[in-house]
């Protein structure tokens, strides 16, 4: 992942997670969110079955702050991001979320908040999950 042409985060095998917050998210939700992501069984076991978590395997997470996850395009042709938390609310939540994951043992790489980032991804076995907490 790069920001302004500078590499700011990189992992090998692991999970790339787009993380967004809305207005009613708060720090009380973060431990549960971190535990869910850390222990979600999305990684293949020896038989190729998604039976292991990132905690059981690589421990690597690439965490990308992404307010556009809360884009709403139900009306018109231009999405609105009114449901996305303002940066001054979302940034401390994102930082605290990353810290919770690191406390669990994650090697958590991140981008730079409020910058244009370029994220490269090799999707090894297409699994994309949307988690709402």
Active site residue 118: no
With residue 18 as reference, give the H or E element that holds it: strand 15-19
User: Which tokens in the block code for residue 24?
Assistant: 């009613």
- Of the residues 66, 94, 97, 110, only one is catalytic, namely 66
Q: Which two tokens stand for residue 81?
A: 């991001």
* Beta-sheet pairing, 2-3 with 6-7: antiparallel
Q: Are 10 and 1 in contact (CB under 8 A)?
A: yes
Active-site entry in 57, 58, 67, 110: 67
Phi first, then psi: give them for residue 35, nearest 5 degrees.
-65, -40
Among 68, 80, 115, 118, the active-site one is 68
Verify whether residue 68 is a known catalytic residue.
yes
**Whole-number Å distance between alpha carbons of 30 and 43:** 22
Q: Is 94 a catalytic residue?
A: no
Give the active site residues: 66-68
């Amino acid at each position: 992942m790069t920001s302004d042409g500078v590499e700011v985060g990189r992992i090998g095998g692991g999970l790339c997670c787009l993380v967004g917050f809305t207005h009613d998210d708060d720090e009380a939700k973060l431990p549960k969110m971190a535990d869910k992501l850390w222990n979600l069984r999305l990684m293949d076991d020896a038989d190729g079955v998604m039976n292991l978590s990132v905690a059981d395997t690589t421990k690597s997470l690439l965490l990308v702050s992404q307010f556009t996850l809360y884009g709403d395009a139900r009306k018109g042709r231009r999405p609105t991001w009114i449901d996305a938390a303002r940066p001054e609310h979302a940034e401390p939540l994102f930082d605290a979320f990353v810290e919770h994951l690191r406390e669990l043992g994650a090697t958590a790489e991140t981008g730079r908040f409020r910058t244009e980032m370029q994220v490269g991804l090799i999707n090894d076995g297409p699994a994309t999950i949307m988690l709402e907490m």
